[in-house]
Structure 1
Amino acid sequence: MGPGGGAHASQDPVAQMNTFRSYVSMLADSGSKDENKLKAAQALSEDLEAIVASPQYPAFLEHAMKIFIKILSEGDPLFISEYNIQQLRKLILEMIHRLPSNEQLKVYLRQILSLMFRLLETDNEENVMVCLRIIIELHKTFRPQFSPEIQQFLQFVKNMYRDLPNHMSKIFERPAAIRVSDLSEVNVDALLKETFTITPIHTEKKLPDGTSITYNLIPRAVLSLKVLTELPIIVVLMFQLYKQQVYQDVADFIPLIMNTIILQPYPQHRDHESFNKEVFVDLIAAQIKTLSFLAYILKIYQDVVAQHSAKLVSGMLTLLALCPNEVAHLRKELLIATKHILALELRNRFVPHIDKLFDESLLFGRGWTAHETLRPLAYSTLADLVHHVRQQLDMGALTRAVHLFSKNIHDETLPTSIQTMSCKLLLNLVDCIRTRSDSTHEPGAGRDLLIRMLHVFVNKFKTIAQLQLPYLKNKQQGHSTAVSGSSSGATVQEDRKEDVKIAIIENESKDKETQRIGFPPNVTVNYSVSDCRALVKTLVCGVKTITWGCASCKSAVDSALTLSKSFHPKETLVFIRLVKWAMQALDIYTLNAPSSQQQASQKGQVPQTVRSKEEKEVLEHFAGVFIMMNPSTFREIFSTTIDYVVERIYHNMALQIVANSFLANSTTSPIFATILVEYLLGHMEEMGTSMDRSNLYLKLFKLVFGSVSLFAAENEQMLKPHLHQIVNRSMELAMSAKDPYNYFLLLRALFRSIGGGSHDLLYQEFPATAADPPARPQ
């Protein structure tokens, strides 16, 4: 039975193996036709798995390996893809690669590797690509001892890198169509000297269907960019296995690497109609693989690399600029290598060029796939760089960084983690902006930039309150529909009035970079409670940092504001919006509450206590934003928003911590207590009804009374003008109220807090009042 006749048709395993052995013998028979040899190899390849599984495999392997090695080592390399013997050689190499790397193969390890290393320098691109895979597999599996051949291999790689610049004048020229009467007319050796990619040769010979016969000329491996692309990973493997022996060889690679990554087509090549785009992509791939190799060895050879840092920076920027949009996988690998390189001190060499990196088309190109998949990697890479070199950036670079990462915070197509990362980066820039603001020639530039940053954070709170939070609440309740529109905390009409007011202010300040951003109703689908909670926490901490920075920056409007840490009216309006939207967004902590608190939630009430240590810390941070302000600014904000603040505390009692913090601070306590007590006096009638709010008002009254005990000197004077109204109004309303009990509790709380001990304020105002408060009804 001849090749292709199906040796597996016989049920006798021994007969099958004898047939396979005969196929192998045919490969070495000089009398057999090339066509039959190829068919025999194809039959072997088809049944190779069955051969390996046979008990006779060791004997077969011994017979086959001698012939395989003989054919590959004694036969001349061929460079016409259609030649039967070329296809035979390639098929033999592929079968060697498919053989299991076990003890049977280990016997031939040295012979195979020696042959593979030799073929690199003589064979064609297609065959050598298989050789490289064999070299990798055998070294990974068997970890052979170091040999002179490895040194020769490294020298071969160096030579390829060294010769590459010499080919740049011709490498991108698409060869003119080769048309001959017969293939025998072609001087293959001459063509190979200038062939860098597979090149068709058209002949006048016809196939039976009338089409011309075309042959493909395969480039020599030593001129192949595809081969060059695969070499760095093998050098890495050699470095891992034989670090001591190859240490200097790898160091010698570094100048060659630098010369390689800066290569690019001449402008006349790129603009020419015959520009070979396929070869260009091969070059970019080889350069990026080379850069990845450099990133791998960078820590060990930092001093050597530093000597060539100018070329490194130039090469990386050029690769980012030239990497074609359609090869997103290459740009991803380029960004990964860039991220590793920028993690070391060499990143300082990029500071003079950082403006280029703020160009998003340079970072991830203009291709759709790259835009959709690579932005998180690109932005995190850039954020790491900006974070580490921020002290070296001028105000212009800081401004561009704020603009870019502010935009990312509102880009709902980015993962929440990237939005949070962008927030954190902006916070790290606050102190740098404040410092640069003092030295810049534009007074107030730093403060204006920080106020813009504050706008971004406030608008993000608004997005969370209006979009993400309603979605997450619905999701927790088992609804899958996305939610868009305002939350219940404020009416649409109020939102519109407020937005018009803010828009006018922003136009007056000529804030050209502030943009209106639309949010499609389905963007919240990627949000989880934990992601959103982490974002809210970052935003709260961020607002506190920005507020500190703003208060320390010079103002272009009024220099007195800086000294007093006050804010201009238009700046104060931003903080009023902050109160509104942040106190809604902080409801994120009401989701996924512990089971012990779920009953209250099911009744429509938010649990009365803080749910976690993190929530308490975040609320205290939020209060800290306002505590650091000038008292006049603090008064302006909360005298304007007190109705809303109490409303939010009613819906989320944990927000009471914010009020507690204000009342427990010596500076803000008398101001907030005055604002709060005036609000409560206006709502005393509601305490006599059965409304749930009556309990909240009583609790807030108690907080005010407690602040008098805490800061007697300051807060006694605050409360004194209101004592008569509190006592008299409580008595009056208790006589007519449907439910007078809360008024008695209010008076008792008043007497207990400030009616005895060192606090004799009540006895000064009401000398005839009995010392004992009204008795609690039974």
Structure 2
Amino acid sequence: MEVYEAKLQDPNLDIKAKCTFATELRDSIEAWCQGTNYALFLAKFMPIFMETLMRGQPVFISTSPEQASRLRSCILEILNRLPMSPSEATEPYAVQVVDLCMQLVRMENEENAVLCMKIVMDFERYHTKVLADRVQPFLDLIQEMFESMEQTVKDTFDGPVPGVSQGIPSTPSNSQYSQSPRPGSPVAATSDLGGDQQQARSLLKGMHSFKVLAECPIIVVSLFQAYRNSVPKNVKAFVPRIKTVLMLQAKPQEKAHQDAKAQGKIFAGVSKDIKNRAAFGEFITAQVKTMSFLAYLLRVYAQQLTDFLPALPDIVVRLLQDCPREKS
């Protein structure tokens, strides 16, 4: 344990080497978190993990050396794998971890933001006493993601096809979703190339990511179950946002449905004018997960959804028609 501690703190060790040690630590996490070793492990490594995440910068270019080493991702994966039992072991770090991860969600790329969301969910579920006042800010953050989806859909599907961005995207309009080929196509196969042959692409920003949004419904349901007193207020806040997200359509896809209807036909599949098939698949997945969230709310709060119920059959049918075959 001392060797890993020294290596991860060594300022002269390059980031790829640190990632190697962090990866070994991650892959053997179960062994380090047994019995009395767990408290010692956390005491030694939590300060290192927190400092590394606070000091480092998010990466939005896939071929960046820091992204290649995946040090930040590896540390977040370790935090995501930490056992929550016994709760006494992780409780002293709960507030710091949750506060940092909520900050990182706003800054990080999509992959790391997903990990941050899962970490916050786990800590808040298992440390309800010390984190009770952190639940509402986290739910507010998720509501903000729902609110941003209308603009994200427009920026992703309704504008010109984006190219490879050479800078860090600060908004969805800065081509967070690069054009993606269908899985299995010759172009898609080139993404498996390593090193210098791999083409640079912009990584997504977490707050405007369909993939991150898709994680939110199960997170909210889990928090509702752990913090019952937060449910009434937040159901009222989530219902209109859920409606908005489910009603969203990519303009080219909406036009394909309208054109088919005008001819007395039914359109199923992905419009040829959807230039970013991968992003579209993630968008539909996020809507399907949001529909499952709605189904959960209908069990108890159907009265708040009465005006929306007539629209649900059409939305369900549309999602079935729009779902790319690789997502079915």
* Distance in 2 of aligned mates of 1:146 and 1:310: 39
Contact 1:80/1:216 (8 A) holds in 2: yes
Report the alpha carbon displacement of residue 94 of structure 1 after superposing the two structures with TM: 0.6
Match of 1:122? Answer: 107
What is the CA–CA distance in structure 1 between the aligned matches of 2:108 and 2:195, rounded to whole Å? 33
After TM superposition, give the deviation of residue 58 of structure 1 in Å: 2.6
Structure 1 contact 124–219 (Cα < 8 Å) conserved: yes
Distance 1:274 1:286 in 2: 17
Q: Which residue of 2 aligns with 1:548?
A: none
Aligned residue for 2:322?
322
Does 1:72 find its partner at 2:53?
yes
8 Å contact kept, 2:5–2:44: yes
1:77, 1:265 → 2: CA distance?
A: 29
Instruction: Trace 1:521-600 onto structure 2 (pairs within 5 A).
Output: none
Rounded Cα–Cα distance in structure 2 between residues aligned with 1:285 and 1:294: 14
1:199–1:216: 8 Å Cα contact kept in structure 2?
no
8 Å CA contact 2:156–2:173 kept in 1: the answer is no
1:581-626 per-residue CA deviation (whole Å, 9 max, x = no partner) reads xxxxxxxxxxxxxxxxxxxxxxxxxxxxxxxxxxxxxxxxxxxxxx
Q: Which amino acid aligns with 1:64?
A: F
Q: Output the amino acid matched with 1:235.
A: V
TM-score (norm: length of structure 2):
0.78
Shift of 1:57: 4.4
Contact 2:95 2:130 in 1 (8 A): no
Partner in structure 1 of residue 4 of structure 2: 20
C-alpha distance 138-241 of structure 1, shift in aligned 2 (>3 A): same
SS in 2 for 1:189: coil
Aligned to 2:199, the other structure's residue is in SS state: strand
Residue identity in the other structure for 1:237: S
Matches within 5 A, 1:187-198: 187-189=167-169, 193-197=173-177
Q: Is the 8 A contact 1:229 1:287 kept in 2?
A: yes
8 A contact 1:80–1:218 mirrored in 2: yes
> Aligned equivalents of 2:195 and 2:100: distance in 1?
42
Give the equivalent residue in structure 2 for 1:36. 17
Tell me what 2:66 maps to.
85
Distance in 1, matches of 2:107 and 2:274, equals 29
Q: Are residues 277 and 21 of structure 1, via their aligned partners in 2, closer, same or farther at CA, if it must alter by over 3 Å?
A: same
Distance in 2 separating the partners of 1:164 and 1:210: 34
Equivalent residue for 2:83?
Answer: 100
Pairing 1:172-251 to 2, within 5 Å after superposition: 172=157, 175-178=161-164, 186-189=166-169, 193-197=173-177, 212-251=197-236
Counterpart of 1:48 in structure 2 is 29
Contact persistence 2:107–2:206 (CA under 8 A) = yes
Q: How does 1:272-421 map to 2 (within 5 A)?
A: 272-273=272-273, 275-328=275-328
Task: Give the 3-state SS of the residue equivalent to 1:131 in structure 2.
Answer: helix
* Contact residue 214 and residue 289 of structure 2 kept, 8 A: yes
Greater CA deviation, 63-72 or 46-55?
A: 46-55
Amino acid at match of 1:178: V
One-letter code aligned to 2:299: K
Amino acid at match of 1:33: D
1:149-188 CA-to-partner distances (Å, cap 9, x unmatched) read 3222222222222221123333236844439xxxxxx232
Match of 1:264 in 2: 249
Shift of 1:211: 6.1
In the alignment, which residue of structure 1 is the partner of 2:95? Answer: 110
Q: Which residue of 2 aligns with 1:397?
A: none
Hey, what's the Cα distance between the residues in 2 that align with 1:199 and 1:324? 16
2: CA distance, partners of 1:122 / 1:303: 37
Q: Which runs of 5 or more residues in structure 1 are unaligned?
A: 1-16, 180-185, 201-208, 329-778
Deviation, 1:227, is 0.3
Change in CA separation of 1:198 and 1:90 when aligned onto 2, cut-off 3 Å: farther
Deviations 1:737-762 (A, max 9, x none): xxxxxxxxxxxxxxxxxxxxxxxxxx
Tell me the CA shift for residue 56 of structure 1.
4.6
Looking at structure 2, the residues matched to 163 and 46 of structure 1 have their Cα atoms a distance apart, in angstroms, of: 36
1:226 and 1:198, CA in 2 relative to 1: closer, same or farther beyond 3 A? farther
Superposed CA RMSD: 2.9
Q: Decide which of 254, 266, 270 is 2:239's aligned counterpart.
A: 254
1:295 deviation in Å?
A: 0.8
8 Å Cα contact 2:63-2:201 kept in structure 1? yes
| Cα distance between partner residues in 2 of 1:57 and 1:239 | 29
- 2:138: which partner in 1? 153
Q: Distance in 2 between matches of 1:73 and 1:43?
A: 22
> Using a 3 Å threshold, how does the CA distance of structure 1 residues 63 and 307 change in structure 2: closer, same or farther?
same
**SS of match in other structure, 1:23:** helix
Q: Distance in 2 between matches of 1:174 and 1:278?
A: 16
Secondary structure, counterpart of 2:169 in structure 1: helix
Output the CA distance in 2 between the equivalents of 1:243 and 1:158: 18
1: CA distance between counterparts of 2:23 and 2:326?
Answer: 36
Quote the Cα distance in structure 1 between the aligned partners of 2:178 and 2:94: 31
Q: How big is the shift at 1:83?
A: 3.3
TM (norm. structure 1) is 0.35
How far did 1:286 drift?
0.7
Q: 1:190 to 1:123 in 2, by over 3 A?
A: closer
State the 1:66 CA deviation. 0.8
C-alpha change, 1:246 and 1:115, in structure 2 (3 Å) is farther
Query: Structure 2: which 5+ residue stretches go unaligned?
Result: 181-193, 257-269
| Paired amino acid for 1:217 | S
Residue 84 of structure 1 and its aligned partner are, at CA, apart by: 4.3
Structure 1 Cα separation of the partners of residues 200 and 101 of structure 2: 26
> Identity of paired residues, percent?
29
Higher normalized contact order (CA 8 Å, seq sep 6+, divided by chain length): 2
| Residue aligning to 1:514 | none
Q: How far has the Cα of 1:114 moved from its partner?
A: 1.8
- 1:382-461 correspondence runs (5 A): none
Whether the 8 Å CA contact 1:120–1:128 is kept in 2: the answer is: yes
User: Is 1:251–1:301's contact at 8 Å kept on the other side of the alignment?
Assistant: no
Cα gap change, 1:97 to 1:198, in 2 (>3 Å): farther
Q: Distance in 1 between matches of 2:275 and 2:178?
A: 15
Aligned to 2:261: none
